[in-house]
Every structure is written in C-alpha cells, then in structure tokens.
Structure 1
C-alpha cells in the first residue's frame, strides 16, 4: 500500500529514541498519521515543524496500519510562523480544529484554505478574517454549516445582521429585532456584498466573528462529549495585541 501527496505538518510526537509520529493534513488523503524513521535527527527535525508543507510518501503493508512516511521539503514556513504569538497560537488552534475531522478523508478545499491562512498570519487584519472563514468551512464539513445567504424569516438577502442559534441561518435586522437578545451578531464581512471593499475589519468585527464560530464549534464538541482545547482564547489574545499595535483607533472609547 503506497501513495504520495502534499501535506502540511500539524503535530509530531516522539516515538522511541529516534523516530516520531507525524500528523499531517494531506491534499489527497485528509488528516493522516504515519511514522517517520529518524524524525528526531538533525537532518529531519527542521522539516517536521508545524506549518511546513512537504511532499509525503506513505507506505504500509495494510491500509489500516499506521505505516511510515518518507518526506521531501517543499514550503518551509515554520521558522517564520513560530517567531510571532499569532503564528504559534494559530498553528495550535488550526491543528485542534482539524482534529475534529475524521482521519483519512480528503478535504482538498480545506487543505487549500489552510495554506492561505498560513501564508497571511503576519497580517492581523487578513489573519483574523481568514481564521474565522476557515472555521466556517470546517463547520460545513462537520455537517453543521451556517447558511448566511438569505434571511431565514423573510428570504431577503440584504441587511443581514443576525444568526439564529437554532437554525444556523442568517436573520435580517427587521425580522430579528423582536428577538435581538436571543440571536447571534453577524459581522458584515461574512456576508457577500454587505461590506465596502477595502475597508478594514474592526476589533468588534473580529470578536463577533469568533463568537459566532465558537458557538457552533462548542455545540459540536458538546454533542460529541468533547472539550475545547483553549486554543481560540490564545489566538484572540495574540490578535488583540497586534490589533492594538496596528489599529489603535479601534480601541478608543
């Protein structure tokens, strides 16, 4: 049994004295684990850092075996990512989110989205929006996706400002007014055509976006007796520090 595919390193753990078990999101085979012989060597260690993209060849005698990886470096971005708080926190958070998916099932659009997020983590405005959109894509693949195309009550496609926590559908301002306190805020950057092109995300946009995705991710975890890894809070803390440095006017009273 053998295949070759691109893969992004998510996590590694020690196995014996010299080997490691690599967890990667691969383009063609989804989240996949395998043994890397000599993975702790000076030669291989720099490649096997979270965020790096590799060419991976997986071999095993039977399909349900752990198997082992052979690797070749492609995009080595871990060194840069791990120098910032946003980079470190985001790598841990993305790995946690992707672990909610079943193993060995391909999600090519999530693979592409992951690479886009990793390439823009040095831009606080873009990083926040991309992380939130990544969570929305993940929720869709988990079968709990949000419908933000039109108002659940009226069918209108403009002035969408809420999300129903029950139906996970958008609600317009007028239709949601009587239930304001029971609905989740919907930041305009998540609705096509509702945000002016080129305008920056405010910190309120960011917090509302993460509150929205957090609600549905947490509900998914509760339904499966899972727990939150606490990684989102670390991402939020790192983003807030960067936002205060880059966009201080967002925090003026």
Structure 2
C-alpha cells in the first residue's frame, strides 16, 4: 500500500531512540498516523513541528497497519507562529479540534480551511473571527451544523440576531424578543452583512460562546470531555488581541469557498 499527499503536522511522539509517530491532517486521507524513522534528528525535528505543512508518502504492507511516512518540508510556519502566544494556543486548539474527526476519514474542505486559518493565526485583526468560523465548519463536518440563514420562527432572512440553543437555527430580533434571555446572540460578522466594522471584543466573545455551547452540547459532553484548556487560553488571547487592535479594519474575509459544503 502506498499513497502521497499534503498534510498539516498536528503532533509527534517519540518512538524508540530516534523515531517518532507522526500525526497529520492530510488533504485526501484525513487524520493519519505513521512512523518517521529519524524523526528526532536535527534535520527532521524542525520540520515535524505542529502547524507546519509537509509533503508525505505513506507506505505499509497492509492498509490497517500504521505504516511509515517519508516526509519533505513544504510550508514551515511554526517558527513564526510560536512567536505569538495567541497563535501558539491556536495551534494547540486546532490540533485538538481535528482530533475529534475519525482517523483516515477525508475532510478536504476542513483541511483547506485549516490551512487558511494557519496562515493568519498570528494576525490579531483576522484570527479570532476566522477561528470562530472554523469551529462552525467543524460542527457541520461532525453533523451538527448550525442554520444561520433564515429565522426558525418566521423564515425571514433579515435582522437575524439570535440563535436557538435547542435547534441551532437563527432567530430574528422580533420573533426572539420574548425569549431573548434564553437565546444565544448571533454576532454581526456571522450574519453575512457587508460593510460592517471589524468585530469588537464583545462580538468575538459572543462568537466563541456560540460555538463553544454547541461543541459542549453535541461533541465534548456526550464524549465525557470538557472544553480544552488550550481553547480557553486561546479565547483569552483572542479577546486581548481584539481589545488592543485598531478598529478601522473591515470584517475579516470568509474561509475559502472550497472549504464550505452545501448541506440540506
């Protein structure tokens, strides 16, 4: 068995005296493990840092074996990202999120979104909002996508300012007014409105509260897990970065179009 692919390094653990078990998120083969001989060497160790992009060839006698990776450096971004506390916690959180996916289950759209996020993870004006959008995509890939396009009560597409914690659907201001204390706020930058000012600290906090609620309800809780400490640290760093950045920038771009799948 053999294949070649592109991948994002999620982590590596020591194996024997000089090798590592490498964990990647690959474009076409999903989250995948493999042995890298000499992975702890001076030449390979910098390449196998979380967040880096690599080109790999995987070989094994049988498909169910762990197999071996031959690895070549592609995009070495970890040194730059590790200089930012926000990016450092973001890498850790991203890796934990991707580990929620089944092994060897391809998610090419989520892979493309992760690449885009990593390229901007140290940018205070972009990373927090992009990470929230990534978490929405992750929920969708896991089968718990939110419907933020129309009001759950009226079917309207205008003035959507809430999300129902029960259905995961948007609710308009008028329809949600009597129940607003029981609804989750829908930040403006997730409503697809043009020419909005850059999301402020309150909107970023609301976005992370929104995605965190559904991750807790549908993913972490049912698996007997709690929210990762790395995510809490990343959210704190993102709030600080949002608070201290200039307010003149416009709303961040969306994730790559090819990372979004249509869902009924």
- TM-score, normalised on structure 1? 0.94
Structure 1 position 218, deviation (Å): 0.8
**Cα separation, 2, equivalents of 1:201 and 1:125:** 9
Match of 1:119 in 2: 119
Deviations for 1:195-248, whole angstroms, at most 9, x for unmatched residues?
425x21111110000000000111121122223222211111212232333248
Give unpaired runs (5+ residues) of structure 2: 249-264
**Cα separation, 2, equivalents of 1:141 and 1:26:** 15
Contact 1:35-1:68 within 8 A present in 2 as well: yes
Deviations for 1:77-110, whole angstroms, at most 9, x for unmatched residues?
0100011101100000000111111110111111
- Determine helix, strand or coil for the equivalent of 1:125: coil
- Which region of structure 1 is more displaced relative to structure 2, 144-153 or 115-124? 115-124
Match of 1:160 in 2: 160
Match of 2:254 in 1: none
Say if 2:237 is the partner of 1:226.
no
- TM-score, normalised on structure 2? 0.91
Structure 1 position 68, deviation (Å): 1.0
Contact 1:139-1:145 within 8 A present in 2 as well: yes
Matches within 5 A, 1:1-253: 1-192=1-192, 194-197=193-196, 199-219=197-217, 220-247=219-246
Deviations for 1:147-192, whole angstroms, at most 9, x for unmatched residues?
0010000000010000001100000000001111111000011112
- Which region of structure 1 is more displaced relative to structure 2, 75-84 or 226-235? 226-235
- Determine helix, strand or coil for the equivalent of 2:11: strand
Contact 1:51-1:118 within 8 A present in 2 as well: yes
Contact 2:198-2:247 within 8 A present in 1 as well: no
Contact 1:188-1:195 within 8 A present in 2 as well: no
Contact 1:101-1:142 within 8 A present in 2 as well: yes
Give unpaired runs (5+ residues) of structure 1: none
**Cα separation, 1, equivalents of 2:13 and 2:129:** 30
Contact 2:60-2:68 within 8 A present in 1 as well: yes
- Name the structure, 1 or 2, with higher relative contact order (CA <8 Å, separation 6+): 2
- Determine helix, strand or coil for the equivalent of 2:63: coil
- Determine helix, strand or coil for the equivalent of 1:227: coil
- Determine helix, strand or coil for the equivalent of 2:227: coil
